Structure 1
Amino acid sequence: MRAVTYSAFGDAVDVLRIQDIPPSSPGPGEVTVELSFSGVNPSDIKARAGARPGVTEPPFPLIVPHSDGAGVITAVGDGVPATRIGQRVWIWNGQWQRAFGTAASHITLPESQAVELPETVSLETGAILGIPGLTACHAVFSGGTPRGQTVLIHGGAGTVGYLAVQLAKWAGAKVIATASARSFDRVKAAGADVVLDYTGEHLSDQILDANDGRAIGRIVDVEFGQNLDTNIAVIAENGRINAYGSARNMTPVFPFGPMMFKAVTLEAVLIYLLPANLRAVAIKTLHKALADGALTCPVHKVFTLEECAAAHVMVQEGNRTGAVLIDTK
C-alpha cells in the first residue's frame, strides 16, 4: 500500500516521505479500510514534530501519521460479519498508540474504530468526525445537554470551535463565542448569538454583558491557560469548564481557591482516551446532528499524499476556515 511515513521527529518537509509498505491483513475482530480521505489535525503535527509531553523519540520504527479518515471496508477478520464489506466508514484513533494511521491507501484496525458512515454524509465529512467532531461533541455535551443554558465557546472559528458552536445551538443553548474580528461573520453564521474579539479589553465584562449580567454555566475552551482569568471571572457557581487545549500556556498557575469557592468542575478533554460508553454517546449525537442538517464540517483544502508535508505546514500555521484533508486515493 502507498503511505506517508516518517522514522524520526522533525519538520514535515524533512521527515515525511512516500513509500510502498506491505498491507496488513485483518486479524480477529479487525477490518481493512480502503481510505479515501485522511484528516490532518494539530495533534498529528505535534506527534510528528516530537512535541508531545514526555516523548523524546518515535514510539515505533516506522510511523504512518494521522488518526482521522474515511473510506470503505474491503476485508474483515474472524468474528466480524462479512456484511461489513463494502460499508462506508469513518475512523477514530487511527494512529493513537499504533504505528500505522490513515495517511495511506489502506488501514487495518479493530472494527469498533471503523464507524458506519450515514449514507447522507460525505466521506470528506467522515474524515473530520474523529478528532474535531468527537472533541466538539463531548466538550459541548459533557455535563449534560445545555438546553436553556448559555455556553461560552472560546475559539469559535477553529475547526473544533466552529463545530461546537453549531452543536451547542442545535442543543438549544445560547451561544457566546470568542474569535478574531475577521471571523465574526463566519462564527455568527454557524449559530453564535454573540461573537466577541478574544483580544478585546475587559473581555470578562463583555461576556457578562452579553449574557445580561448572568454568570456562564458552561465554557468550552481551546486555550485554557490563556483564558483562565477570564473564565474564573465569568463562570457561574457549580459551572463547568471543558478544556481541550492550552497550547499558548501549558503550565498555567492554577487558581484553586477561586475555583473551589465557585465549585467549578474542570474537565481536560482528550478525545483519544474517551471511555467507550461516552464515545458511543458522542457518536450517536454527532450522527443525529448530521441527520438533522444541523452540522456542517467545512473543508479548507484537500492535498494529495505527495503533498502531505504542505498539508502539515498549513495546519501548523493556522488561520484556516475549515479542515485540511489528504486525498489518499
Structure 2
Amino acid sequence: MRAAFYTKTGAAADVLELAELAEPVAGPGEVLVRIGASGINPADVKRRAGWRGVAIAHTRIIPHCDGAGEIVDIGPGVENRKTGDRVWMWNAQGGYSGPGRADGTAAQYIAIAASQTAFLPAALTMEEGACLGVPAMTAHYAVFADGAVEGKTLLVQGGGGSVAHFAIQFAVCNGAKVIATAGSPERADHARNAGAELVLDRHDTALAKRIMEETAGGVDRIIESEFGGNLETDVAVLKPGGVIAAYSSTAVPAPVFPYYTLAARGGAVRVIQSFGFSPEIRGAVAQMVSTMSASGDLHVAIGKTFELDAIAAAHEAVESQQVVGNVVIRI
C-alpha cells in the first residue's frame, strides 16, 4: 500500500517520506479500513516536528490520528461492524499518556480496533468524516462535560479554529448563546457561520470589558484554545461558579495560575485531552454527529485538501495557521 511515514522528527519536508508498505491485517477485535481521507490536527504536526523536545515514540510512524474510510475486512471477534460500512476513526496514531499506536491514517489501509470507529453518516463525505475525530470530540466534551447548556452563555475563544467551529455548532444547537473571539475578519466570518451570535476581536485590549458589557455580568462557560495567553481575560469574565474548559495552551505552555482571583468566583478549570476519553463520551459524540448530520445542522468546514504525495505541504499548511477550516489529505 502507498503510505507516508517518518523515522525521525523534524521539518515536514525533511522527514516525511512516501513508499509502498505491506498492507496491514485485521487482528482480533480490529477492522481493516480502506482509507478515503486523512485529517490533520495540530497535534499530528507537533509530534512530527518533535515539539517541546518530545522524542519519536516508534521506529517508524505513519502520521495522523483521524480519518474516514470503508471497512474491507473484519478481524476475529468483531460483531458490530461489517465489510462495506463507512466509518470515521480516532486515536489511530499517537497518544499523550504513552506512545500509542504507530500507524495512523496517512496510508491507503489501516487495521484498527473496531471500538475506535463510528459509522459515518450518509450526509457526510469521506473528507468531512476525516475531520471529526479530535475536533468534534474535544468540542463536545468542552461544551457538555459540565452539564446542559440550554439558556447559558458560552465564550468560545479562537472561534475561527476547527474545535471552536464544532463547539459553536454543538452549543447553539442545544440552546446556548455563543460569543466568540477571532483574530481576523475571515475567521470572524467563520465563527458567525457556525452560529456565534457575536464575534469580538481577540486583539482588543478592552476585550474583557466588551464581554462584560455584552453579557451583563459574564459568561457561564469558556471554551479555551489558548489557556495561558487568555487566562487573565477568562478569569475576568467568568460568572461565579463558571467553568473554563481548556484544550490547548501552545503559546504559553506553563502559565502562571491566578488561584485566588479564580477562587473568588468559585470558578473551575477543566483541562481536556481527547486521547483519554471514555467509550461513553465517544458514543455521545458519535450520536450527536449522526443526529445533527441527519437534520442538516452540522457543517464540517474543510479549508484545504491535498493528495497524499503532497503531505509535507499539507503539514506546512497546518503549521502556518493561515488555513481557515480543516486540512485534509485525500487518499
Structure 1 position 257 matched with structure 2 position 255: no
CA distance in 1, matches of 2:60, 2:7: 5
| 1:221-232 pair list within 5 angstroms | 221-232=224-235
Structure 1 position 202 matched with structure 2 position 217: no
CA distance in 2, matches of 1:175, 1:25: 45
Does the CA contact (< 8 Å) of 2:74 and 2:81 recur in 1?
Answer: no
What residue is the counterpart of 1:2 in the other structure? 2
Does the CA contact (< 8 Å) of 2:91 and 2:275 recur in 1?
Answer: yes
Structure-2 change in CA distance of 1:83 and 1:188 (3 Å)? closer
CA distance in 2, matches of 1:299, 1:83: 28
CA distance in 2, matches of 1:81, 1:253: 49
| 1:55-74 pair list within 5 angstroms | 55=54, 57-74=55-72
CA distance in 2, matches of 1:267, 1:250: 15
Structure-2 change in CA distance of 1:70 and 1:83 (3 Å)? closer
What residue is the counterpart of 2:97 in the other structure? none
For 1:301, which of 298, 301, 304 is the aligned residue?
A: 304
CA distance in 1, matches of 2:217, 2:176: 14
Deviation at 1:81, TM superposition (A): 3.1
Deviation at 1:263, TM superposition (A): 1.7
For 1:109, which of 107, 112, 119 is the aligned residue?
A: 112
SS of the aligned residue for 1:84 comes to coil
Note the residue ranges of structure 1 that are not aligned, 5 or more in a row. none
Residue deviations 1:170-218 (CA, integer Å, cap 9, x gap): 111111000024132332222111110000021111011111x222110
Does the CA contact (< 8 Å) of 2:127 and 2:330 recur in 1?
Answer: no
158-167 or 227-236, which deviates more: 158-167
Structure 1 position 172 matched with structure 2 position 170: no
Structure-2 change in CA distance of 1:134 and 1:83 (3 Å)? closer
Deviation at 1:54, TM superposition (A): 6.4
Structure-2 change in CA distance of 1:83 and 1:237 (3 Å)? closer
Residue deviations 1:90-120 (CA, integer Å, cap 9, x gap): 0111102111000000000111112111222
Residue 101 of structure 1 aligns with an amino acid whose one-letter code is G
TM-score (norm 1): 0.96
Shift >4 Å, 4+ stretches: none
For 1:279, which of 262, 282, 300 is the aligned residue?
A: 282
CA distance in 1, matches of 2:127, 2:19: 24
Does the CA contact (< 8 Å) of 2:159 and 2:188 recur in 1?
Answer: no
What residue is the counterpart of 1:152 in the other structure? 155
What residue is the counterpart of 2:197 in the other structure? 193
Note the residue ranges of structure 2 that are not aligned, 5 or more in a row. 95-99
Does the CA contact (< 8 Å) of 2:139 and 2:166 recur in 1?
Answer: yes
Residue correspondences, number = 325
SS of the aligned residue for 2:139 comes to helix
Residue deviations 1:107-140 (CA, integer Å, cap 9, x gap): 0011111211122222111101101111111111
Residue 292 of structure 1 aligns with an amino acid whose one-letter code is S
Does the CA contact (< 8 Å) of 1:167 and 1:294 recur in 2?
Answer: no
What residue is the counterpart of 1:289 in the other structure? 292
CA distance in 2, matches of 1:285, 1:82: 19
182-191 or 22-31, which deviates more: 182-191
CA distance in 2, matches of 1:25, 1:189: 42
Does the CA contact (< 8 Å) of 1:134 and 1:286 recur in 2?
Answer: no
CA distance in 2, matches of 1:175, 1:281: 21
| 1:36-115 pair list within 5 angstroms | 36-51=36-51, 53=52, 55=54, 57-81=55-79, 84-96=82-94, 97-115=100-118
For 2:132, which of 108, 129, 132 is the aligned residue?
A: 129
SS of the aligned residue for 2:315 comes to helix
Does the CA contact (< 8 Å) of 1:70 and 1:91 recur in 2?
Answer: yes
CA distance in 2, matches of 1:325, 1:134: 17
Residue 13 of structure 1 aligns with an amino acid whose one-letter code is A
Does the CA contact (< 8 Å) of 2:81 and 2:114 recur in 1?
Answer: no
CA distance in 2, matches of 1:91, 1:288: 18
